[in-house]
């Protein structure tokens, strides 16, 4: 009740009409001044100022019309109202107070949940579900022979278009948030791409992936309602206290908080003179009222989300710039890392090597380098231990050491073009001699165990 | 986030597998063609494969990441082929037939080259021709990436470049697949820290090179499949873009094969006639050669895209790129 009161306060017109049936159908009507509400017993001509008149049908319903009125799909085309039988095939017109069948077809039962629309001089039915398959076919009604014809489409056609959200803008029909079912498993897959059909040449094009941060398309929801207003698409879901406004030309999407307008209301809506007209059911009394709401005030609701709708070129170039940035960053990080490890030499049993370069060494040379792999500074006395031989003089050992070090340094310099070992006085005791490994070089001993 | 998960998993797995291989003394043999003298393991591909498995599992569970089942089977099959080659060194002919089989499995995903997109004036091609062309392209690309894996970091860096530049296209076109790319890029980055590490040196091996080649081929098929929406269609031809993205592996493989045939040798013979070997022989170290080739291949992409943005015809664009490649060759590789 609170919801209803707020709605009434928000309503810009004083229009309110009580219905005594659940089976009704709201039609736009030929004139901007009034609309129709069809019931099984008769129909209302309801004016926007609140007046309404009940009339009986001038003719009985056609026998083929054996389904509830609210399952028919209405369409206004060239100032004429058409009613489509669920699943396609049978087509009726409503004029002069009577419903007449105008097709020479049969109940197709092939396009339940399809979108019924008019473009130029034709009316079309697109997508739907039937015979255990989701369809992406387009059928066109031939007014001359009263039959439906399949329209051949080309391009990136989606495989199955059930329960989609459609937006007709000029010669483009945009489609998104539809379901495709796998033929074998009947598993429902909600498509997350935006497609557009050019109605001049029936060429399909996939425009891109819908922004995955947009909440409604990530949710399981009830039935949805969508209508065009001021070149924008307004759509809502029955189990979501929000409505959404899509501006496809500017690729922008807005989400509004709404707990009174569309939320938990019926799926029938028409837009008339910038007013939304639809039924509101009082959950306490069960009473159904047709109410109107000024669509111009729809933006008075608080915006809770605003973003781009689908990823297009702007996002693409953002990714490209990011990719180049990331690649540059990666090269810098790897360069720093490489610089750090590039002077790491591996010493094994008979050689010293670095990426792509190797130098064979004698056993004593390997032993010398092994000392430097443990300590960067090696005292002369420690080094001499390698050269001291029993029965030989110390002088001989010194000569051998010097010769070995010169030979080693020459080999390494020639192979790797870097100075390896330098001789200098020990920092602790100037009388002692020490050998120091070039501080840029790191030696790793990798002997086979 | 998936790049970080991939990086962390890959870093850990590369270290772990290196130690495991080391303890079993499973080092890459050093032969006359080798460009390295350190003890290195061929565990990088395996680490990359496991990294992708971890990322895919997480992505599937949390973010509805999804790749066609047949594509996954094909990747797994090609990775196993690579592992068999790394461990047992299978014959080239056997490897070739296993690759053809993997290509046929990949075609079952429904993603293949079904159009030439105007190249040679040809657009849509019959199904049988699609299959033949796709299998041929698969074999060429997978082996091209295997052949350029001759020096440290080259195949990995060029793969990263491919994935990063393709990421924009895939992200726009497929919500289910775009997480694959950060996972793989993270995985390769983690591997690179070991590939350049002289102490714990890890190679991609056939497992990694073939796996990367097959994943890259899948994305190339994705771009060339006319059923898929490619946002770059407005300013660049799809086949031209694909060639630009993998210009180095293609050019190098073509050049090496032509030289071998000219010398009367088998075009599949393993030798040191590759462009990257030429850089090494000129005195570049592995890092220098790999980054130079990476940088040059990015400039080739830029030249090609720039020519396309100038609304030049495909022939004119190809000619400009060819001239640019010739200049590069004479400056850096001659």
Q: What is the pLDDT of residues A354-412, one digit of tens each?
A: 766 778 888 888 888 888 887 888 888 887 887 877 777 878 888 888 888 888 888 88
pLDDT at residue A198, rounded to an integer: 93
Taking an 8 Å cut-off on Cβ atoms, the answer to whether A346 and B171 are in contact is no
pLDDT at residue A220, rounded to an integer: 52
pLDDT band at residue A16, thresholds of 50, 70 and 90? Answer: low
pLDDT at residue A51, rounded to an integer: 80
Across B259-283, average pLDDT: 80
pLDDT at residue A10, rounded to an integer: 44
CA distance A304 to chain B (A): 24
Touching check for B36 and chain A: CB below 8 Å? Answer: yes
Touching check for A358 and chain B: CB below 8 Å? Answer: yes
pLDDT at residue B326, rounded to an integer: 92
Taking an 8 Å cut-off on Cβ atoms, the answer to whether B227 and A344 are in contact is no
pLDDT at residue A15, rounded to an integer: 60
Touching check for B307 and chain A: CB below 8 Å? Answer: no
Touching check for B276 and chain A: CB below 8 Å? Answer: no
Sheet holding A34-39, edge to edge: A24-27, A34-39, A43-47, A52-55
Taking an 8 Å cut-off on Cβ atoms, the answer to whether B198 and A344 are in contact is yes
Q: Is the pLDDT assigned to residue B175 strictly greater than 70?
A: no
Q: Is the pLDDT assigned to residue B83 strictly greater than 50?
A: yes
Give domain A2-320's CATH architecture.
6 Propeller (2.120)
Q: Do A130 and A108 form a contact (C-beta atoms < 8 A)?
A: yes
Parts of chain A belonging to CATH 1.10.10.10 = 342-445
Contacts with B152 from chain A: Cβ below 8 Å:
355
Q: Is A212 helix (H, G, I), strand (E, B) or coil?
A: coil
Chain A, window 171-210: residues with a beta carbon less than 8 angstroms from a chain B beta carbon? 192-193, 205-210
pLDDT at residue A217, rounded to an integer: 62
Lowest pLDDT segment from A238-242, B14-18, B81-85, B220-224: A238-242
Ranked by mean pLDDT, the top range of A156-165, A275-284, B184-193 is B184-193
pLDDT at residue A173, rounded to an integer: 95
- What's the rounded Cα separation, in Å, for the pair B253 and B213? 13
Q: Give the percent of chain A with pLDDT over 70.
A: 89
Touching check for A348 and chain B: CB below 8 Å? Answer: yes
| Cβ-based neighbour number of residue B67 at 10 Å | 20
pLDDT at residue B256, rounded to an integer: 87
Suggest the residue from B22, B69, B164 to mutate for an interface test with chain A (most A CBs closer than 10 A): B164
| Phi/psi at A229 (5° precision) | -150, 120
The matching CATH number, chosen from 1.10.287.3510, 1.10.10.10, 3.10.20.90, 3.40.50.300, for A342-445 is: 1.10.10.10
Q: Do B38 and B219 form a contact (C-beta atoms < 8 A)?
A: no
Mean of all residue pLDDT scores within chain A: 81
Touching check for A350 and chain B: CB below 8 Å? Answer: no
- More confident: A422 or B323: B323
pLDDT band at residue B313, thresholds of 50, 70 and 90? Answer: confident
CA distance A360 to chain B (A): 11
pLDDT at residue A183, rounded to an integer: 67
Reported as a single tens digit per residue, the pLDDT across B137-171 is 999 999 888 888 878 888 999 999 999 888 888 87
pLDDT at residue A122, rounded to an integer: 93
pLDDT at residue A222, rounded to an integer: 66
Q: Is the pLDDT assigned to residue A430 strictly greater than 80?
A: no
Smallest CA-to-CA distance from A327 within B288, B143, B188, B315 is with B188
Cβ-based neighbours of A107, under 8 Å, separated by 6 or more: A64, A85, A87, A88, A89, A90
Taking an 8 Å cut-off on Cβ atoms, the answer to whether B172 and A209 are in contact is yes
Q: Is the pLDDT assigned to residue A11 strictly greater than 60?
A: no
Q: Do A449 and A348 form a contact (C-beta atoms < 8 A)?
A: no
Taking an 8 Å cut-off on Cβ atoms, the answer to whether B171 and A209 are in contact is yes
- What's the rounded Cα separation, in Å, for the pair A331 and A387? 46
Reported as a single tens digit per residue, the pLDDT across A300-347 is 888 888 888 887 777 778 888 888 888 888 889 888 888 777 777 888
Q: Is the pLDDT assigned to residue A133 strictly greater than 90?
A: no
| Phi/psi at B34 (5° precision) | -65, 140
Chain A, window 265-294: residues with a beta carbon less than 8 angstroms from a chain B beta carbon? none
pLDDT at residue B34, rounded to an integer: 59
Across B105-116, average pLDDT: 87
Q: Do B37 and B198 form a contact (C-beta atoms < 8 A)?
A: no
Across B105-126, average pLDDT: 85
Contacts with B37 from chain A: Cβ below 8 Å:
346, 351, 353-354, 356-358
pLDDT at residue B188, rounded to an integer: 92
Q: Give the percent of chain A with pLDDT over 90.
A: 17
Tell me which H or E stretch contains B17.
Answer: helix B2-23
- What's the rounded Cα separation, in Å, for the pair B133 and B330? 32
pLDDT at residue A148, rounded to an integer: 94
Chains A, B: CB contacts within 8 A come to 115
Taking an 8 Å cut-off on Cβ atoms, the answer to whether A344 and B199 are in contact is yes
Q: Is the pLDDT assigned to residue A296 strictly greater than 80?
A: no
A156: nearest CB among B160, B199, B229: B229
Q: Is the pLDDT assigned to residue B220 strictly greater than 90?
A: yes
CA-based R_g, chain B, Å: 19
Q: Do A281 and A266 form a contact (C-beta atoms < 8 A)?
A: yes
Ranked by mean pLDDT, the top range of A42-51, A218-227, B10-19, B288-297 is B288-297
Reported as a single tens digit per residue, the pLDDT across A215-267 is 656 565 667 778 887 788 888 887 777 888 899 888 888 888 876 666 656 66
Asked if ipTM goes beyond 0.90, one says no
pLDDT at residue A252, rounded to an integer: 87
A320: nearest CB among B151, B161, B168: B168
């Amino acid at each position: 009740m609170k919801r209803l009161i707020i709605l009434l306060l928000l309503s810009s017109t004083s229009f309110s009409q009580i219905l005594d049936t659940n089976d009704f159908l709201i039609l736009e009507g030929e004139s901007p001044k009034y609309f129709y509400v069809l019931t099984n017993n008769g129909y209302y001509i309801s004016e926007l100022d609140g007046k309404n008149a009940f009339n009986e049908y001038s003719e009985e319903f056609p026998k083929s019309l054996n389904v509830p009125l609210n399952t028919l799909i209405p369409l206004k085309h060239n100032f004429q109202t058409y009613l489509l039988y669920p699943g396609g095939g049978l087509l009726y017109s409503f004029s002069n107070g009577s419903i007449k069948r105008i097709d020479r077809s049969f109940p197709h039962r092939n396009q339940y949940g399809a979108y019924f629309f008019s473009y130029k001089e034709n009316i079309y039915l697109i997508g739907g579900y039937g015979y255990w398959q989701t369809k992406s076919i387009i059928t066109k009604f031939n007014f001359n022979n009263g039959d439906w014809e399949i329209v051949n489409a080309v391009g990136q056609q989606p495989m199955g278009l059930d329960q989609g959200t459609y937006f007709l803008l000029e010669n483009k029909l945009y489609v998104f948030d539809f379901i495709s079912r796998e033929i074998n498993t009947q598993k429902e897959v909600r498509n997350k791409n935006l497609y557009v059909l050019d109605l001049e040449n029936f060429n399909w094009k996939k425009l891109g992936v819908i922004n995955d941060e947009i909440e409604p398309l990530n949710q399981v929801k009830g039935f949805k309602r969508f209508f065009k207003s001021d070149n924008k698409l307004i759509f809502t879901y029955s189990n979501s206290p929000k409505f959404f406004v899509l501006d496809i030309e500017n690729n922008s999407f807005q989400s509004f908080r709404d707990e009174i307008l569309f939320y938990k209301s019926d799926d029938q809506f028409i837009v008339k003179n910038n007013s939304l007209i639809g039924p509101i059911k009082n959950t306490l009394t069960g009473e159904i009222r047709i109410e109107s709401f000024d669509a111009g005030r729809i933006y008075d609701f608080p915006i809770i989300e605003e973003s781009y709708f689908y990823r297009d070129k702007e996002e693409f170039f953002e990714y490209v710039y990011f990719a180049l940035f990331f690649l540059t960053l990666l090269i810098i990080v790897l360069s720093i890392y490489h610089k750090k490890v590039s002077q790491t030499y591996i010493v094994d049993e008979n050689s010293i090597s670095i990426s792509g370069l190797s130098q064979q060494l004698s056993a004593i040379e390997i032993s010398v380098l092994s000392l430097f792999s443990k300590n960067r500074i090696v005292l002369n006395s420690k080094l001499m231990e390698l050269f001291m031989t029993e029965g030989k003089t110390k002088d001989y050992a010194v000569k051998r050491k010097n010769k070995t070090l010169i030979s080693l340094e020459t080999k390494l310099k020639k192979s790797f073009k870097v100075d390896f070992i330098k001789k200098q006085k020990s920092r602790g005791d100037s009388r002692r001699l020490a050998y120091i490994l070039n501080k840029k070089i790191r030696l790793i001993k990798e002997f086979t165990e | 986030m998936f790049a970080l998960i991939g990086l962390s998993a890959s870093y850990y797995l590369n270290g772990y597998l290196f130690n495991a291989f080391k303890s079993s003394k499973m080092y890459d043999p050093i032969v006359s063609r080798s460009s390295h003298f350190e003890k290195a393991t061929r565990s990088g591909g395996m680490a990359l494969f496991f990294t992708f498995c971890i990322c895919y599992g997480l992505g599937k569970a949390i973010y509805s990441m999804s790749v066609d089942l047949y594509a996954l089977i094909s990747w797994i099959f090609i990775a196993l082929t690579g592992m068999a080659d790394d461990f047992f060194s299978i014959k080239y002919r056997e490897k070739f037939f296993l690759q053809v089989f993997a290509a046929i499995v990949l075609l079952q995903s429904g993603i293949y080259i079904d159009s030439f997109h105007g190249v040679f004036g040809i657009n849509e091609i019959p199904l049988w021709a699609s299959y033949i062309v796709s299998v041929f392209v698969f074999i060429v690309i997978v082996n091209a990436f295997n052949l350029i894996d001759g020096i440290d970091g080259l195949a990995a860096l060029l793969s990263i470049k491919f994935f990063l530049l393709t990421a924009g296209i895939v992200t726009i076109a497929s919500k289910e697949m775009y997480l694959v790319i950060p996972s793989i890029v993270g995985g390769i980055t983690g591997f690179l820290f070991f590939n350049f590490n002289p102490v714990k040196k890890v190679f991609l091996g056939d497992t990694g090179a073939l796996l990367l080649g097959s994943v890259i081929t899948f994305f190339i098929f994705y771009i060339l499949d006319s059923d898929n929406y490619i946002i770059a269609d407005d300013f660049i031809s799809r086949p031209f873009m694909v060639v630009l993205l993998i210009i180095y592996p293609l050019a190098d493989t073509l050049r090496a094969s032509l030289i071998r045939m000219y010398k009367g040798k088998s075009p599949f013979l393993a030798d040191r006639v590759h462009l990257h070997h030429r850089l090494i022989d000129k005195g570049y170290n592995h890092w220098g050669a790999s980054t130079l080739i990476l940088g040059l291949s990015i400039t080739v992409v830029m030249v090609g895209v720039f020519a396309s943005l100038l609304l030049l015809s495909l022939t004119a664009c190809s000619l400009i790129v060819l001239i640019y490649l010739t200049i590069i060759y004479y400056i850096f590789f001659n």
